[in-house]
Amino acid sequence: MQRQYFYNLKAMITIKNFVFNELEVNGFVLYDETRECIIVDPGCNTEEQCNILKNFITGQLLKPVFLVNTHGHFDHIFGNDWVKSTYQCPLLIHEDDMPLLKHVDKYAGIFGFRVDRSPMPDGFLNQGEALCFGNSKMEILHVPGHSPGSIALYSNSDKFLICGDVLFKGSIGRTDLLGGNYSLLIRGIREKLMTLPKDTAVWPGHGPNTTIGHEYDTNPFLK
């Protein structure tokens, strides 16, 4: 399945959302007026899906400068090897999810999927640091619980959050997988995400977008 959604937030950073693979992962290309971009969670696992991503990047004259994984689960890193070999951009992830990357073939096999390998990271994303590209920057928020190294990318200037599988519209990330921790996830969401401005747009790793305010008011897991 391949679906594409294009959003211009009328701000410095533009978001291109791709929905790839059987688990319908939301992947993203974020770019600004410099045409530098970052690729987040490439879920493309077929040649057709990889070409969709490539054609967009080529058509928009973009220069990928980072490949970012919000976490190391196989459905979010299907395209790591292809992106890395195609664009030679550094792969970044939180260090606590290194075991997931190293053994992605085994974890994917448990669920009936095949991922031969992922390249190893060129660097690590840490809480409170900034990831910069073009004229833009994203703050790194470490929110473990779905996986030990789950992170979110937050733009204060553009008021949006890319949060992987930490928070969904009306739900939260599952915590029954290896390294999951429900209490840790809830605490991280409350302390690091629910304290953001309520009009912050939230782009999760699966499903529709939402806002911090909507989840603060209605999410049953946060009551």
Its pTM stands at 0.94
Query: What residues make up the domain containing 121?
Result: 2-222
Express each pLDDT in 87-115 by its tens digit.
999 999 999 999 999 999 988 898 899 88
pLDDT for the residue 3: 55
CATH number at residue 117: 3.60.15.10
Express each pLDDT in 205-223 by its tens digit.
999 999 999 999 999 999 8
Domain count, the chain: 1
Residue 10 predicted with pLDDT over 60: no
Residue 117 predicted with pLDDT over 70: yes
DSSP track, the chain: -EEEEEE--SSS-EEEEEEETTTTEEEEEEE-TT-EEEEE-----SHHHHHHHHHHHHHTT-EEEEEE-SS--HHHHTTHHHHHHHH-PPEEE-GGGHHHHHTHHHHHHHTT------PPPSEE--TT-EEEETTEEEEEEE-TTSSTT-EEEEETTTTEEE-TTSEETTEE----STT--HHHHHHHIIIIITTS-TT-EEE-SBS--EEHHHHHHH-GGG-
